[in-house]
Amino acid sequence: MIRVALRFDDPSATSDHALEAAIFQKLACHGVPITVAAIPFRQRDGGYVALSADHAGHLRQAQRTGLVEIALHGHSHEERGNGVHGEPSEFAGVPALEQRRLIEAGRAVLQDAFGCGVSGFVPPFNTCDAMTVGALRDLGFAYLSASFDAPRDSKLAWLPRSCQMVDIQAAVVAARRDAWFGPVVIGVMHHYDFHESGAPEARIDLEGFAERLAWIVAQPDIEVLTLDGLARVCGRRTHLSQFSGLQRVLPWRLRQRLPTQHLLPVPNLSFPFH
């Protein structure tokens, strides 16, 4: 069985709500669940506008159907620090107390807007540091979904992205060669992936998205979950890996067997090989 989870980043008070509603309509038609990584605050007119029930009617409706899980996508998706390789980050390099304040404020906004608990964290730019992870652990979050460079913690399910949504079919096909190990595919998408957003880098339209959803539900060997559902299945004693550490030591022919767009569940004790 191949487990698939979809993650939609960046819905907020100021995002394209019409496009979001159209995406949720396609998901509902095919019965495919998704995790929405929502941004609690956005800058506007020199201040911050919070995501509230007034801005989130379409999100609240989708969440009430049970097909949408709400995760916390940072605070305001601003660059406040830098990751280990100099990449932008809202959290990495920021003092621990400030990180905790940002996370607590953001989660409070989402829980108030949606009337539900928020157990998942998706850092903006997919970057964070050990202090972020410590704050998430102390605040009772269930999982972290970020890049492979993000720190791990035995108290958090670690669910890194594995591919883009537009490449989901190729990722599933590749995962089938490792079907014995229970592979996982985590596909991420943004507004700018869709031609309807007007973004020049878009690679898919709504109809193409619907075709991929139809393909997913037609596959007998796929189980689709939200990230929270995936965290519950995998548990906190297991992490998902592409074994990137082995890239440095394995011969070329064996490296070709390592997963590139899917993940394999491994025990926590195998951290050095991640």
The DSSP bridge partners found for residue 164 are 188
The pTM score is 0.90
8 A C-beta contact, residue 223 and residue 42: no
Amino acid at 234: C
Domains in the chain, start-ordered, CATH in brackets?
2-273 (3.20.20.370)
Q: What is the average pLDDT across 142-146?
A: 94
Of residues 171, 133, 156, the one with CA closest to residue 232: 156
**Residue 268 confidence class, pLDDT cut points 50, 70, 90:** low
Would strands 143-144 and 88-89 be described as parallel, antiparallel, or unpaired? unpaired
Q: What is the dihedral of CA 12, 17, 22, 23, to 10 degrees?
A: -10
Statement: residue 258 has pLDDT above 80: no
Question: The tokens of 138 are what?
Answer: 């102390």
Angle at which helices 206-218 and 17-30 pack, to 10 degrees? 30
Count CB-CB contacts under 10 A for residue 25: 13
Q: Measured between alpha carbons, how far is 256 from 245 in angstroms, rounded to an integer?
A: 14
Residue pLDDT, tens place only, 148-158 = 778 888 789 88
- % of the chain surpassing 90 pLDDT: 71
Of residues 117, 113, 144, 121, the one with CA closest to residue 75: 121
**pLDDT score of 247:** 46
User: Within 13 Å, how many C-alpha atoms sit on residue 75's CB side?
Assistant: 18
Residue pLDDT, tens place only, 51-94 = 999 989 999 999 999 999 999 999 999 999 988 778 999 999 99
**pLDDT score of 44:** 85
H or E segment at 179? Answer: none
